[in-house]
């Protein structure tokens, strides 16, 4: 079936470090791809999206590029802040549904 695989967490970084969270998806159909973020005690919020191959989604300094050849949608940020500490979920469309990855816990220390 359609699925999404994220790199295992947790990830712990120092402030201003470079962040990469890997995400790969099963290569069925032509999905749209998303990153959602969940801050402590809250629901998920859309961070960025890309709807076709080679699209780059970006928001709040985060970026991810839809790579059809590697079936990947890795999340990157050049300089993380303490306020970026959260759980990050990669997701893909499956027809009328959204399928989420397992989530990656990110902790950024001062």
Q: Rank residues 17 and 26 by Cβ distance to other proteins and give the closer one.
A: 26
For the chain, give the secondary structure using H, E and C: CCCEEECCCCEEEECCCCEEECEEECCCCCCCEEEEEECCCCCEEEEEEECCCCCEEEECCEEEECECCCCECCEEECCCCHHHCEEEEEEEEECCEEEECCCEEEEEEC
Residue 15 Cβ vs other proteins, minimum distance, rounded to whole Å: 27
Of residues 51 and 81, the one with the C-beta less far from other proteins: 51
The footprint of other proteins (CB under 8 A) covers: 6, 32, 34, 36, 41-46, 49, 51, 89, 93, 96-103
Question: Which lies closer to other proteins via its Cβ, residue 37 or residue 80?
Answer: 37
């Amino acid at each position: 079936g359609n699925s999404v695989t994220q790199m295992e967490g947790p990830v712990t970084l120092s402030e201003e470090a470079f962040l990469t969270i890997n995400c790969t998806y099963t290569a069925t159909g032509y999905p749209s791809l998303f990153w959602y973020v969940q801050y402590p005690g809250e629901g998920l919020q859309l961070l960025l999206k890309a709807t076709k191959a080679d699209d780059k989604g970006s928001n709040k300094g985060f970026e991810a590029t839809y790579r059809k050849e590697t079936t990947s949608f890795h999340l990157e940020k050049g300089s993380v802040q303490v306020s970026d500490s959260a759980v990050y979920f990669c997701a893909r469309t499956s027809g009328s549904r959204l399928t989420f990855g397992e989530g990656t816990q990110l902790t950024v220390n001062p």
